[in-house]
Amino acid sequence: MKKYLLAACLFAMFSTAAVAQDEPEEEPKEKGFDKSKLFFGGNFGLGFGNVSTLVNVSPQIGYRFNRYLAAGTGVNFIYSSFKFIGYKEQFGVAGLNVFGRVYPIDYLFLQIQPEANYTWGKQRYDDGAEYKLDKKVVPSLLGGVGAAIPAGRGAFIVTANYDLLQNERSPYGSRAFFNFGYNFGF
């Protein structure tokens, strides 16, 4: 009986060792910068009409640190003009931003985006009066929630945002607004 027990123990021990050898070893993870975690995108918008014109070119670059965190930076270029009876306004914005995203679940994120936007503009009336807006840097702090919908080699990005600072010269106004964009390399 002792021979059978000893044989069973030896068989179990060698079987476990053989199975352990068949499992692939985990490759050590490389530390440092990984280009495959970069993503590029942003917002691009055009609107033309009899009363108004809007051009928005706001590219961004970001890095996905892990499945939960991403961050990046971008630039903002916005031009708008409005015509009313006896009145015309032109407004421009050029700025820089940084953003951070937290993905509590796949494809849904919370975002915070501080910005510094240089603003300028003028108002012109049909009677010849013209007023220039002071050129100045206007801070904004956008808070939002969004979705990254996988598509091809990237993702469509949809966000609902609100300027938390509510500066009177904010290019975003005092209401929530939506952005639609695309990120390559998501």
pLDDT of residue 168: 86
pLDDT tens for 4-21 read 444 444 444 444 444 444
Whole-prediction pTM: 0.74
Q: Convert the pLDDT of each residue in 29-60 to its tens digit.
A: 667 889 999 999 988 888 888 888 989 999 99
Q: Give the pLDDT score at 105.
A: 94
Amino acid at 106: D
Give the rounded percent of residues in the chain with a pLDDT score beyond 90: 54
Instruction: Spell out a b/e string for 128-139, using b for 16 or more CB atoms within 10 Å of the CB, else e.
Output: eeeeeeeeeebe
pLDDT at 73: 97
Nearest Cα residue to 93 out of 112, 116, 71: 116
pLDDT of 25 > 60? The answer is no
pLDDT band, residue 93 (cuts 50/70/90): very high
Cβ-proximal residues to 140 (8 Å cutoff; 6+ apart), any chain:
114, 115, 117, 163, 165, 167, 170, 171, 172
| Domain annotation for the chain: domains and CATH numbers | 45-184 (2.40.160)
Closest CA to 111 of 167, 183, 171: 183
Closest CA to 136 of 123, 120, 157: 120
Q: Residue 28 — pLDDT band, cuts 50, 70, 90? A: low
Residue with tokens 């910068």: 33
In the chain, what is the greatest distance between 2 CA atoms, to the nearest angstrom? 114
SS3 24: coil
> What's the confidence (pLDDT) of residue 30?
66
Question: In the prediction, which pLDDT does 65 show?
Answer: 95
Helices (H) and strands (E) in the chain, counts: 1, 8
Are 117 and 98 spatial neighbours (Cβ–Cβ below 8 Å)? no
